[in-house]
Structure 1
Amino acid sequence: MMIARWTCEAKFGHKTEALALHKEWEEQIGVQTDIDVSRSRTLTGSVGVKEAVIQAEMEIANLAELDAFFDKIATIEMHAEWGKKFGEVIVSGSTYWEVFRIVE
């Protein structure tokens, strides 16, 4: 098993709106993928990290599953529209993916 973690940074004063849009993505778009979004979690910065940081973690079996996820979301029309709205509340260029292997 692995954890795929997507990170972004909310613009100043827009963290609440960014989190609401992230929840909207999970409820309306994420459920259209083969990833079990009910087993995902959302984290935000607290101590030792920028408060504006928002991270979404999801369990994946392997990198092929993540690749299939990317292929799937590219076909979901709502995802493109959602991305435009989300882009207005996050820092441009702040998004990135990390993948961790679960040891225990």
Structure 2
Amino acid sequence: MELSPSLHRIGNDVIAAYLVVTPDGVTVVDAGLAGHWHDLVAELKALGLSLADVKGLVLTHGDGDHIGFAERLHRETGAPIYVHAADAARAKGARSRRTRSRR
């Protein structure tokens, strides 16, 4: 969904990812859910672009509804993933000490 000529949204009403389109390529902000992968590919195609045009992914934080297709995007395109150091382990799936103690 086009929000402006250089900003597009994919996902649903609750969980979304954003594509920032510039002449240098596309930066994806957040990766929604894993199932949003197909939305990403479709939106790129609608813009006349492909996965090869994605230059990077910025994760605003490491929650599961933000990291969905991140690993797949990196694996298939080599695009770097940027996340704050404080959220890096969480984005990679590590559980916090607090979460483990609830078991």
Give the TM-score normalised by structure 1: 0.31
Query: If the length of structure 2 is used for normalisation, what is the TM-score?
Result: 0.32
Higher relative contact order, chain-length normalized (CA < 8 Å, sep 6+): 1
Higher CA-based Rg: 2
